[in-house]
Amino acid sequence: MTVILRISNLLSFLRKAESVRAETEERSAKRAAARALKIRTTERPSAAAEEYGARATADAWQYACNQRAFR
């Protein structure tokens, strides 16, 4: 009797685990599709925004180099 119960519990666990795995895969596929759609639909940043980003990166790099020089 206990063997039958254990087998039943094991099968139930496996069914639940499979359904959870399928749901997780489905959610991740939906997120990936949403990200791909967002990337395709977003417009390119303006020249001013690109220049601001480049300057911010250059400033951060210069700051890091200066910090390293004083160590």
- The structure tokens listed for 30 are 């939906």
- Report the alpha-carbon distance of residue 47 to residue 49 in Å, rounded: 5
3-state class of 69 per DSSP?
helix
- Report the alpha-carbon distance of residue 42 to residue 46 in Å, rounded: 12
What pLDDT score was predicted for residue 38? 80
Domain edges within the chain: 2-69
Phi, psi of 44 (to 5 degrees): -70, 140
- Report the alpha-carbon distance of residue 41 to residue 30 in Å, rounded: 16
Low-confidence ranges of the chain (pLDDT < 50): none
